[in-house]
Amino acid sequence: MQQQAAAGWHVADWGFWGWLETGLKIIGIVAGFIAFFNSSAVSALTIGGSPRLAATILVAVLALAMIGVVFMRITQKEIISVIYSIVNALGHVALLFALLRVPTQITLPIIFAVMFILGELAKQRFLAISGYVEGGQNTAAMVRFSRIIAVIYLVLAIFLVI
């Protein structure tokens, strides 16, 4: 299943594993939004004194990357991917602000990280059975990239725990 960047706006057939990936990551995104709304809006944003400084920096980098993905998805003109990428970027930004507000409770950020790890595992299965490729890459390269992303979220979970 080759992604067609030149096609008009469309909805792709993502199949079970593609939707499972999306569903798992949406659970993580919801956890990020809840963490944001549970964090104190009256507290000053803190980076230097944060007990989760490494996690906060990593989420900041991930949030920037996810904002970039929105523009990539718009060029592909796949409606579900565009909507999801916007919600995904907002979820990362919400988690970033929750961490900048120095939350005392880290369960929700850990749920965020774990759901993204599980989502990447589902994505790897989707890639393996669907043959989906984009950006001139082959399936093996896309699976390797997904594994790297899963490890990054694993590192995030570890940073949140320590």
Residue 132 pLDDT > 60? yes
Q: Within its chain, how far is the Cα of 60 from the centroid? A: 12
Nearest to 96 by CA among 88, 17, 80: 88
> Which residue has better confidence, 4 or 31?
31
Residue 44 pLDDT > 60? yes
Give me the pLDDT at residue 135, please.
Answer: 85
Residue 4 pLDDT > 50? no
User: What are the CA-CA distances from residue 10 to residues 81, 84, 110, 127, 153 (Å)?
Assistant: 10, 14, 34, 20, 30
The model's confidence at residue 6, banded by pLDDT at 50, 70 and 90, is: low
Q: What is the mean pLDDT of the chain?
A: 91
Rounded distance between C-alpha atoms, residue 55 and residue 112, angstroms: 12
Q: Are 79 and 27 in contact (CB under 8 A)?
A: no
Mean pLDDT of 71-93: 96
Task: Name which of 45-59, 97-111, 143-157 the model is least confident about.
Answer: 45-59
Neighbouring residues of 98: CB distance < 8 A, sequence distance ≥ 6: 32, 35, 36, 38, 39, 108, 109
What phi-psi label fits residue 77: left (phi over 0), alpha (psi between -120 and 50 degrees) or beta? left
The fraction of the chain above a pLDDT of 70, given in percent, is 91
Nearest to 92 by CA among 50, 51, 124, 58: 58
Give me the pLDDT at residue 24, please.
Answer: 98
148-161: per-residue pLDDT in tens? Answer: 999 999 999 999 99
> Which residue has better confidence, 27 or 43?
27
> Which residue has better confidence, 49 or 143?
143
Domain boundaries, the chain: 15-41+50-161
Mean pLDDT of 10-14: 89
The fraction of the chain above a pLDDT of 90, given in percent, is 77
Residue 22's identity, in one-letter code, is T
**Of all helices (H) and strands (E), which one includes residue 73?**
helix 53-76
> Which residue has better confidence, 158 or 51?
158
